Amino acid sequence: MNCPFCDLIAGGVATCHGSVAVIPDAFPVTEGHTMITPVRHVADIFELTGREVADVHRLLRDLREQLRRGDSAIEGFNIGVNCGTSAGQTVPHAHVHLIPRRPGDTPHPEGGVRGVIPGRMRWEAVADAAAE
């Protein structure tokens, strides 16, 4: 199996924390965009063990604090997971995106992760369409 995340982990590029590792995103959405992935190769987060889930959650909190200490402009975060190619997963190794958000990084941040479907990010537009 040829998995780029497994290669990064085996090559020491990823920083391991218990059962999970931190990988900087190769195509970051914002500065500081990071991925947390299990060291063990599994396809998506639904296959994680209880320990892996706990390690992911702990590391999300730790990275959030580390990023906030290093950049006072960060006011929020998006946490994203793509499971399966229909959901946009391009690397078949489970991973969680931690994306720092700053004021003005997008003109309309309302709706956040709803933006995965064009035209559905702003809930007002969805509600207006449903009312028609």
Asked if 74 and 98 count as a contact pair (C-beta separation under 8 A), the reply is no
Per-10-residue mean pLDDT of the chain, 132 residues long, equals 92 93 94 97 97 97 97 97 95 97 90 78 63 68
Q: Provide the pLDDT for residue 111.
A: 81
pLDDT value for 127: 60
Among residues 33, 95, 97, 108, the one annotated as catalytic is 95
Q: Beginning with the edge strand found earlier in the chain, give each strand of the sheet holding 96-101 in spatial order.
A: 15-17, 20-24, 34-38, 96-101, 76-80
Predicted local distance difference test score (pLDDT) of residue 123 = 64
Kindly list the structural domains of the chain, giving each domain's residue range(s) and its CATH number in brackets, ordered by start.
4-101 (3.30.428.10)
Q: What is the pLDDT of residue 115?
A: 79
Q: Is 41 a catalytic residue?
A: no
